[in-house]
Amino acid sequence: MKALLVVHSKTGHTILFARAIGERLREDGHDVDIKLLRTKGASRPYSRDVELIRPPDPSEYDIVLAGSPVHGGTASPAALAYLEELENLKGKRCAPFATFALPFGGFGGCRRTLARLSGKLEALGATVVEGEGMFWMFGPNKTRMREACERIASRLKQ
The pLDDT value recorded for residue 44 is: 64
Identify whether the C-beta of residue 152 lies closer than 8 Å to the C-beta of residue 21.
Answer: yes
Which residue range(s) make up the domain with 33?
2-157
E strand or H helix that includes residue 89 = none
pTM for the whole structure? 0.93
Domains contained in the chain, number: 1
Dmax over CA atoms of the chain, in Å, equals: 40
Which pLDDT tens digit goes with each residue over 49-103? 899 999 999 999 999 999 999 988 889 999 999 999 999 999 999 999 999 987 6
How many Å apart are CA 23 and CA 43, to the nearest integer?
28
Domain with residue 55: its CATH number is 3.40.50.360
Q: Is residue 140 scored above 80 in pLDDT? A: no
Identify whether the C-beta of residue 133 lies closer than 8 Å to the C-beta of residue 67.
Answer: no
Identify the DSSP state of 90. Answer: T
Which pLDDT tens digit goes with each residue over 3-27? 999 999 988 999 999 999 999 999 9
